[in-house]
Amino acid sequence: MKLNLAMNTVSQLKSKLMRQSKIVQDCTSYFEDEKVEYNFKEEIENYEKIQKELLNLKTKIQLTNAKTLVSFEGNTISLTQLIILNGEITAQLHFWQHSLAAQIDQHSYHRTRTKEEIKKVLADGFSKKSIEEKVQVLEARKQSVNSLIAQINLTTDLIK
């Protein structure tokens, strides 16, 4: 089984587990005049079976990610490290796109100041252009990471 198929299977098992958990909840108690549609013990066993299968598959995915080595930006790293790097790049993008960019537009919140006064408030080197350049670099890097992860997921076999 390839990694991408394993991850799709995890999603399917999560959905199946949620449905099964609802069935278990529905059969934990009922009115005595109702006909019981489910066997509580069987449904709990089914729930535990799905949960065990999901845990086993997630564990195999994590082991595969840890043992799969990839070349990225001249370094050999594990797929796990590449996935962590992807998360870090996403966090940096969020910071640059939302947190700092909002500071540039702060003049809209200070209508009593002129634009020249706002420029005095902003730090040296803090410009919309520098932020846009940083965001472009991060977006390109993220695209590179995502492409590599997708390629690896399609070609890497899950550890047995």
Distant-in-sequence, close-in-space partners of 128: CB < 8 Å, separation ≥ 6: 101, 104
Domain ranges of the chain: 1-67, 79-160
Task: Give the separation between CA 132 and CA 54, rounded to whole angstroms.
Answer: 42
**Each residue's pLDDT tens digit, 114-127:** 666 555 555 666 67
| C-beta separation of 10 from 58 below 8 A | yes
pLDDT 10s digits, 102-154: 665 554 555 566 666 555 555 666 677 888 888 999 999 999 999 999 999 99
Amino acid residing at 8: N
* Residue pair 21/47 in contact by the 8 Å Cβ criterion: yes
